[in-house]
Structure formats: structure tokens, C-alpha cells
Amino acid sequence: MPAFDLPLPELEHHRPDVEEPSDFDEFWLSTLKEAAQAEPLVSVRPVETGLRLTRTWDVTFRGFAGDPVRAWFSRPAGVDEPLPAVVEYAGYGRGRGLPHERLTWVNAGYAHLLMDNRGQGDQYGCGGETPDPHAGAPGGPGPMVRGLLAPHDYHYRRLITDAVRAVAAVRELPGVDAGRVAAVGNSQGGGLALAVAAHVPDLAAVLVTAPLLCGIRRALDLTDAPPYGEITAYLSVHRGAEAAAYRTLSYMEGISFARRAQAPAHFGVGLRDRVCPPSGAYGACNRYGELTAAAPRKEIHAYPFNGHEGGDAVHVRRQLDWLRQVWEV
């Protein structure tokens, strides 16, 4: 698969303009204020996984509209002191799966919360267990187009709210150092992590790889690969709905979230990524923290011959080294 986006020297200076609605901040302030009215935790139940070195709990917390959202919470067995926590967000179409699938952060010595994706989990992996009871607005069957024609109805308004509430939930769990919480995600999860960084001002770190929802308008011009392809397919049938769709998407733009973020940030991107074009990741990184009082620490790692998989395990090793340095500061 050849490179298809901007050349690397241009990506390194890519600072795209984004069309932000005038009520962007008010939209998210009111949405998240409503969700924060209830205590985050619903239940925390220990589960047997067969893993001797890891303890795991089945967690339910309140997300958008107080809806119950499932998650796995794990921490190293035999460790009693409060630990830094990593909140991880899964990719598009995936649910939280089974608790033994994601062990990297626990093995690194951190507490780990893996959030389920509401209304997803049926495309790959081992499933999800969080329904989306608000998915009745006009739009297609895929999450990317559910409620696409109105910002208040859109799937990602609900999913981003869940992601923010997941941080509040992990801070209430036993054995968590509430002052050291990082948001981590790849693809859709990366887009969610950026949104969390915008809305949780005391987040300790954010690690983003191949983020979805960054440079959305440009991505729709560059690729028909899913999930962006779901939007182009929808608009190919619903001719004339472009203005409404673009307005909705402007409230979910990851570059807008990145501009408002304050936490130290670590990015990764494959330069041949046709799922989430690399100009989106670079746009978010280059404009990251520009609306904050002090420029936050940030870095990005590019993998010229890789696609959506990016640096894969090589990049995870870089993430582990970087996050350890952040915790030690």
C-alpha cells in the first residue's frame, strides 16, 4: 500500500484550520455537566480469570444519561499500594472482550480500566456488553452514522461522554492513585482519549495512536475505508444531507479537542494508514494544547512503511518507556 497523504515534511508542519461551532464549548460543558450529576460507580464485582498474577473486577459505571457502562478493572495481584491508572478505550466495532485480552498495562505495574463501547462489540474481538438505548435517531446501522444528522443525537456524543466518565469511575476504585491517571487508545480509542484530554484538565497523560475523528473533513476526501466510508456511503444515498452531517461532525473533531488539552501527549501514526489518514494525527499533534496557558509536552512517532497497525509492539514499547518517565517526574 503506497503512501497517499501529505509527504512527511509537510505533515510535520500540518496545522489545518478546523470549523468549530460557536457553541462548541457550551455543547460539551452542558453534556458533561448533566452526566456528572450522578455518582459514577454502580457496581464493582471481582471475577475469576485463571490468572494468578492479575486481579480483575467487573465494573459498571454511569455514562451518558446515567446509562450503565461496563468495564474491566485489573491490577497486579499482591500489590496493595495505590497505583497509577491507565484508562484504555477500544477500537471501532470492538467491545471490552474478555478480561485476559489486554494485560500490557497491568504487567507494567499499573491499574487498568478497559471501557466497553456502547452499542458496539459485534465486528471483531470477543464482544461487548453495553447497549446503546439512545440509538433510535435517523442514521445508518453502523455507529459512525447513528444519529449523524443532529449533534445531540449522534453516537459519539454518548460515547465520548462515557469515556470522560470512565476517568471519574477509575478514580473511585480501590488502590488507584487518583492524581496519576492516563488515557490511552488506538484508532477510535485514540479519538476518545483526545476528547478525554480536552475535558479532564488534571489528566496526567494521554497516549494516542492512529486517532479516528481527527481531520474528519479531509479524511472523508481521502478514504472510503471504514469507518469513514460508512459516512460517505450514507451521504451517497441521502443526497443533500452533507451540511447537517458536517455540522454534527464539527462537534466531534479531534483536532478541536486536542487544542484544549493540557496533559503530556504521546502520538503514533503509520504513514500508509488509509483507515485514519496520518494528516489527522499530525494535525492533532501540531495543534495540541494551543489554547492552554503553557505548552504541554508532546511527541509523535511515525512509521513510514506501516498502515493502521502503525508501530504495533514497537510503538507499545515506546509508550511504556515514555509513560514511565511521565510518572517519575
Please give the positions annotated as active site: 187, 273, 308
* Dihedral angle, C-alpha 103, 109, 110, 114, nearest 10 °: 10
> If DSSP codes are grouped into helix, strand and coil, which group holds residue 145?
helix
Nearest to 4 by CA among 312, 277, 305: 277
DSSP letter, residue 210 = S
The residues facing 58 across adjacent strands are: 45, 72
Q: How many helices and strands, by DSSP H and E, does the chain display?
A: 11, 9
Give the E-state strand segments of 52-188 in sequence order.
54-62, 68-76, 83-89, 111-115, 176-186
Residues 283 and 223 sit within 8 Å (Cβ to Cβ): no
In the numeric block, the cell 488507584 is attached to: 176
Distance CA 7, CA 4 (A): 8
DSSP letter, residue 134 = T
Distance CA 328, CA 23 (A): 38
State how far the alpha carbon of 39 is from the alpha carbons of 172, 179, 223, 288, in Å: 10, 19, 41, 31
Q: Kindly list the strands in the beta sheet with 298-303, ordered across the sheet, starting from the edge strand earlier in the chain.
A: 41-47, 54-62, 68-76, 111-115, 83-89, 176-186, 205-209, 265-270, 298-303
Residues 225-228: contacts with CB under 8 Å, at least 24 apart: 225/274, 225/275, 226/92, 226/142, 226/144, 226/275, 227/92, 227/93, 227/142, 227/143, 227/144, 227/188, 227/275, 228/144, 228/275
Nine-digit cell at 230?
A: 460508512
